Amino acid sequence: MNSFVFENNTKVCFGKGCVKTHLPQLLQNYGPNVLLGYGGGSIKRSGVYQEIREILEQQGKTVTEFSGIMANPTYDKVLEGVRLVKENHIHLILAVGGGSVMDCCKAVSMGAVYQGDLWKDFWANVGTVDFEPLPLGVVVTVSGTGSEVNGDAVITNVEEKIKTGRDYIGCNPRFALLNPVYTYTVPRRQMISSGFDILSHIMEIYFSEPQGENVSDGISEALMRNVIRSLRIAKEDPENYDARSDLMWDAAMAENRIIKLGKRLDFQCHQMEHQLGAYTDCSHGEGLAVLHPVYYRHIYKEGLEKFYAFAVNVWGISPQGKTKEETALAGVEALGAFIEEMGLPTTLGQLVPGKELDLEAIAASCVLAPGSFKKMTHEEILEIFRECL
């Protein structure tokens, strides 16, 4: 394994009733003014909003609402949150929702303290967080991104048509409350899309150097099998607690940095989807579902050992009577079949029907990730996009 330094300072409270049990005590560590960040009206319809508001009020907190955080949070929305923090002298940001809400609120926590150009210094370029962001706590209602246990935040600059994510350890939430029951009200399509995002994160880590057997990849294989099994169950029985709780913890395990230890990381497919999203505002998980099989058909020969292990250890494909290359490709095709089984889109036409796509511009804007088994070019990325039509 490669050398690494591990750090994760987020306190996680998991299980039924964890918000009522733990949030009151956690709130006592912070001042009276709280910024409550959330997306649309789903947390109000589900009753989560009312439950959290009651706890905040019981603890004597003054609440400022930061609502309407969109699926692909924009830099303009971040600046709106920063303004609210400063105007209302906020002591704690509490993000309630999925990855987009958490990501936006992480960026707000930085902008509340940083005096320079937040986008230029921390998203357009990799910066150094040598200051302490405003404290952030999260309550998760959608399992997928794993944003609750890291400092990563994906933000879209609409004007520049750039969607990018950065992971700053200083932006880790102080605490994360994970009640699987809160995810029951997520629409099935969104649940499946977010579930595939979990699988995608693990694959992006798994399909990178080193290729030989190692601790991180052994854990990743177990997590991938669990995501596949749990997503199949949740698709048929959305309120199956065991499946939903497994998916929730799978998401956290995928992104709490543990399985990344000693790995080089790929995330080229994520970079491609980010730019596709910047131009189309498509669903992140669904975009990844379209791209992954096509991308992997381009790189599996360069990562043959790992793709072979993926086929055998994750999908249970027998190598008997097959070459190593045939077995590896069978694993990629099994992934494609699973995507179809889940009802996820498999082409760009299904992903963004009726939209004209400037694939050349999208491909040219993609960052070339250094961790891929195969050194990609913008020309090959354009080829992948065209094969996805």
pLDDT confidence tier of residue 2, bands split at 50, 70 and 90: confident
pLDDT confidence tier of residue 185, bands split at 50, 70 and 90: confident
* Confidence at residue 3, expressed as pLDDT on a 0 to 100 scale: 84
pLDDT confidence tier of residue 8, bands split at 50, 70 and 90: confident
Residues 256, 197: contact at Cβ < 8 Å? no
* Confidence at residue 4, expressed as pLDDT on a 0 to 100 scale: 75
* Confidence at residue 40, expressed as pLDDT on a 0 to 100 scale: 83
Report the percent of the chain where pLDDT is more than 70.
Answer: 100
Q: What are the sequence ranges of the domains in the chain?
A: 11-183, 189-387
Mean pLDDT of the chain: 96
* Confidence at residue 263, expressed as pLDDT on a 0 to 100 scale: 94
Query: What integer is the mean pLDDT of 148-153?
Result: 96
- CATH code of the domain made up of 189-387: 1.20.1090.10
- CATH code of the domain made up of 11-183: 3.40.50.1970
Give pLDDT tens digits for 361-384: 999 999 999 999 999 999 999 999
For 47-85, give the DSSP string: THHHHHHHHHHHTT-EEEEE----SS-BHHHHHHHHHHH
Answer whether residue 1 shows pLDDT above 80.
no
Query: What integer is the mean pLDDT of 23-37?
Result: 98
* Confidence at residue 30, expressed as pLDDT on a 0 to 100 scale: 98
Answer whether residue 157 shows pLDDT above 90.
yes
Collect contacts of 312-318 with beta carbons under 8 A, ≥24 apart.
313/221, 314/221, 314/224, 314/225, 314/228
Residue 314's identity, in one-letter code, is V
> What tokens were used for 15?
């299980």
For 312-363, give the DSSP string: IIIS----TTS-HHHHHHHHHHHHHHHHHHTT---SHHHHSTT----HHHHH
Tell me the residue ranges of DSSP E strands in 199-341. Answer: none
